[in-house]
């Protein structure tokens, strides 16, 4: 089974015509490697409450699929999906790093950044 140790950096709800309501997240490992994660409304009540922003968690039994689309949240090549048998447990790790990946203003204005990645908090 796949298992990761991650910090929840940001969460938001989104409506998707294919999947309906979803909870979206940006997660980071201890090295600052960020990944977009998502789960359907079906799991929001049972699993969403255990993933508050700023918390470190061990997550296992999830799926990965290629990250595609015009507006990607991270540059990670995969997206994590939280599924029915995904388990999440608390971690004793305390690390207040926000894992920001800032770009300089000239790169934004100059248009040298890849347009498929969102620019902002992460």
pLDDT of residue 6: 94
pLDDT of residue 121: 45
Contact predicate 38/62, CB 8 Å: no
pLDDT of residue 120: 57
Return the residue matching tokens 């971690």: 91
pLDDT of residue 116: 63
**Residue 35: what are its φ and ψ, rounded to 5°?**
-140, 145
User: Over its length of 122 residues, how does the chain's per-residue pLDDT go in tens digits?
Assistant: 678 999 999 999 888 788 788 999 999 999 999 999 998 877 777 666 678 899 999 999 999 999 988 778 898 999 999 998 999 999 888 777 777 666 776 776 777 766 666 665 44
pLDDT of residue 96: 76
Q: Going from the N-terminus, what domains does the chain have, and what CATH number goes with each? A: 3-110 (2.40.50.140)
* pTM of this structure: 0.80
Q: In what order do the strands lie in the sheet with 87-90?
A: 63-66, 78-81, 34-40, 20-28, 3-16, 56-60, 87-90
């Amino acid at each position: 089974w796949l298992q990761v140790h991650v910090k929840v950096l940001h969460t938001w709800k989104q409506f998707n015509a294919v999947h309906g309501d979803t909870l979206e997240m940006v997660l980071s490992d201890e090295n600052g490697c960020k990944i977009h994660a998502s789960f359907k409304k079906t799991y929001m009540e049972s699993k969403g409450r255990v993933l508050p922003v700023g918390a470190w968690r061990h997550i296992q039994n999830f799926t990965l699929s290629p990250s595609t689309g015009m507006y990607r949240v991270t540059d990670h090549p995969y997206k994590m999906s939280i599924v029915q048998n995904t388990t999440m447990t608390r971690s004793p790790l305390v690390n207040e790093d926000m894992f920001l990946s800032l770009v300089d203003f000239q790169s934004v204005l100059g248009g040298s950044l890849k347009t498929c990645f969102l620019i902002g908090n992460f």
